[in-house]
Structure 1
């Protein structure tokens, strides 16, 4: 479980997260929606320990992410994160990209790491492209490669930061299909997305962010179809029509 308590995050005088509370249960798909600059992506980076916080706590499986004694490198093995940018090593094949972190971080023998990489490339539908370099892959394929790289570390949680926003519309579906497969496998997922239809159909819960605050959180279909808060309703009317 991930529990966020009274979290505050600032950049200088600008407070971008203003005392939020959230709880994500194991096995849930939890989508974060809201306008640009509302604090969604920053929250993911705080959960992963990539950004320091000013107040509050983030607890992952009983571990306080931002406590001084926490080994962040060890904790991040529980928390796979995928960004809009693919961040693959251009000089390595897809197979080598996926096998790299298990070899370097987990000290898995090369042959075992390569076998692990093949399994994860097949999971995301890239088994036949294992020996291709990233530049030879489409944007959707490169994003699925990024997902395979994160999965190869066998995380307990996957964090996705607007992973379809940089893709051409026809490539979005293949990435979202991979997310559905992950959901079916029981993976806990926290996903920042602008794809409201996908969030409604695939998420268990949705939180609507506005100006660093959570205006509404609840069952995915309820939040999208019957929002309780006027600010949520205004946002959804603007993005869905």
Structure 2
């Protein structure tokens, strides 16, 4: 479980998260929606410990992410994160990219790490691309490579930060199909997305961010089809029409 309590985050004098409260349960799929700059992506980075917070607490399976003395490197092994940009090592093959972190961080023997990498590449539909370098892969394939690389650390949670926003429309579906497979496997997913239709069909809950606050959170279909808050309704009318 991830418990977020009264979290505040500022960049200099600008407060971008203004007291957010949220609980994410194991095996839940939660989508964060809202306008650009509303605080969604920043919250993901705070959950992962990539950004410090100025107030509140984020607790992952009993560990306070931002407490003094927390081993963030160890904690991040539980929290896979995939960004908009793929960030693969260009000189390594897909297989070597996926096997690298298990070898270096978890000290898994090379043969075992390579086998693990093969399994995760196959899971995301890239089993036949293992020996290719990132530049030879399409954008959608590179994004699936990034997902496989995160999965290779065998995390308990996966955080996705607008992973389809940089892709051509025809490539979006293959990445979303991979995320659906993760959902079906029981993985806990927290996703920042602008794809409202995908969020409605695939998430358990949706949280709508507005100006650094969660304006509404609830069942995915309810939030999209029958939003309770005027601000949620205004946002959805703008992005869906």
TM-score w.r.t. the length of structure 1 is 1.00
| Segments of 4+ moved more than 2 angstroms | none
Does residue 86 of structure 2 align to residue 86 of structure 1? Answer: yes
Indicate the SS of the match to 1:49: coil
Q: Which residue of 2 aligns with 1:18?
A: 18
Q: CA deviation at 1:145?
A: 0.0
Does residue 69 of structure 2 align to residue 98 of structure 1? Answer: no
CA distance in 2, matches of 1:24, 1:209: 16
Deviation digits for residues 136-165 of structure 1, max 9, x if unmatched?
A: 000000000000000000000000000000
Q: CA deviation at 1:4?
A: 0.1
What is the correspondence of 1:74-153 to structure 2 with a 5 Å cutoff? 74-153=74-153
Q: CA deviation at 1:239?
A: 0.3
CA distance in 2, matches of 1:7, 1:97: 34
Q: Which residue of 2 aligns with 1:229?
A: 229
CA distance in 2, matches of 1:8, 1:68: 17
CA distance in 2, matches of 1:205, 1:58: 19
Q: Which residue of 2 aligns with 1:48?
A: 48
CA distance in 2, matches of 1:66, 1:184: 31
Q: Which residue of 2 aligns with 1:73?
A: 73
Indicate the SS of the match to 2:171: helix
CA distance in 2, matches of 1:138, 1:35: 28
CA distance in 1, matches of 2:26, 2:83: 22
CA distance in 1, matches of 2:70, 2:61: 12
RMSD, matched Cα:
0.2
Deviation digits for residues 88-133 of structure 1, max 9, x if unmatched?
A: 0000000000000000000000000000000000000000000000
Q: Which residue of 1 aligns with 2:154?
A: 154
Does residue 35 of structure 2 align to residue 35 of structure 1? Answer: yes
Indicate the SS of the match to 2:17: strand
Q: CA deviation at 1:25?
A: 0.2
Indicate the SS of the match to 2:150: helix
Q: CA deviation at 1:179?
A: 0.2
Q: Which residue of 1 aligns with 2:180?
A: 180
Q: CA deviation at 1:86?
A: 0.1
Q: CA deviation at 1:198?
A: 0.1
Indicate the SS of the match to 1:50: coil
CA distance in 2, matches of 1:240, 1:130: 38
TM-score w.r.t. the length of structure 2 is 1.00
Q: CA deviation at 1:69?
A: 1.3
**Structure 1 unaligned regions, length at least 5:** none
